[in-house]
Amino acid sequence: QLVLTQSPSASASLGASVKLTCTLSNGHSNYAIAWHHQQPEKSPRYLMKINSDGSHTRGDGVPDRFSGSRSGAERYLTISSLQSEDEADYYCQTWGPDHAVFGGGTQLTVL
Amino acid sequence: EVQLVESGGGLVKPGGSLRLSCAASGFTFSSSSLTWVRQAPGKGLEWVSSIDPTSSYIYYTNSVRGRFTISRDDAKDSFYLQMNSLRAEDTAMYYCARLAGSTSLYYFDYWGQGTLVTVSS
């Protein structure tokens, strides 16, 4: 079964960097994924996709402070120079043969 | 500028029906796949249903299959979610989104602002 696993929470200081992790289930380690974030009381916004080779493509208007990478079954979203508006829920997402799958989300707190 | 605007949410009794609409602009609607995603209060995102440009491929999450129907009207640049036999657990903010990508990955590249559905007696 295709499952994405995320840590429920993360925190980092203003101006620092943080790396969020999304882990693909056994047998799905080569899947591409997308990252979305949702600021408080707002709708989700697409950030980027991470291809199976680890390359990433950011969405329209997404600053280059956001980058993606992979290692095995893990997919990462790294945010550098953290700003207060980066405080949000971050969701990874992929696609099975006929359905989408979301991770449970990581709530990022900017200290 | 891509825009997706949902409407049609509201309060409905268990067993009732609602029809959500999503009006799109800023992109070639007729060649786009579209989707509904929901978020229960305080919970994460849950994919609900998707439809391809020709309505040949339509998919539903298991919990709504047989109760919800997704459709599109290219003449109106709009798509819909007909929700029947509503249950309390269908209470959520419903977002429409454009589905981009290919078989290696389909993802939601633009989202609407959401419409709230509350199922309660």
Q: What is the 3-state secondary structure (H, E, C) of A12-48?
A: ECCCCCEEEEEEECCCCCCCCEEEEEECCCCCCEEEE
pLDDT value for B97: 98
Mean pLDDT computed over A47-70: 94
Q: Which of B34, B105, B110 to mutate to test the interface with A (most CBs of A within 10 A)?
A: B105
pLDDT value for B102: 85
- Nearest-CA neighbor of B4 among B69, B109, B97, B72? B97
Tokens of A88: 């949000």
- Tell me if A46 and B35 make a contact (CB, 8 A cut-off): no
Question: Any idea which residue has 């509904």 for tokens?
Answer: B36
Q: Is A96 on the interface with B (CB under 8 A)?
A: no
Query: Given a cut of 90, is residue A97 above it in pLDDT?
Result: no
- Tell me if A46 and B112 make a contact (CB, 8 A cut-off): no
Residue of A nearest to B1 (CA): A60
Query: Given a cut of 90, is residue B78 above it in pLDDT?
Result: yes
Residue-wise pLDDT tens digits, B1-59: 999 999 999 999 999 999 999 999 999 999 999 999 999 999 999 999 999 999 999 99
Mean pLDDT score across all residues of chain A: 96
> Residue A104 belongs to what H/E stretch?
none
Instruction: From chain A, pick out residues whose CB is under 8 angstroms from the CB of B46.
Output: 102
- Tell me if B108 and A94 make a contact (CB, 8 A cut-off): no
Return d(Cα B39, Cα B22) in angstroms, integer: 16
Instruction: Among B104, B109, B114, select the one facing A59 at the smallest CB separation.
Output: B109
Burial B8-36 (b: 16+ CB within 10 A, else e): bbeebeeeeebebbbbbeebebeebbbbb
Residue of A nearest to B41 (CA): A41
pLDDT value for A89: 98
pLDDT value for B104: 84
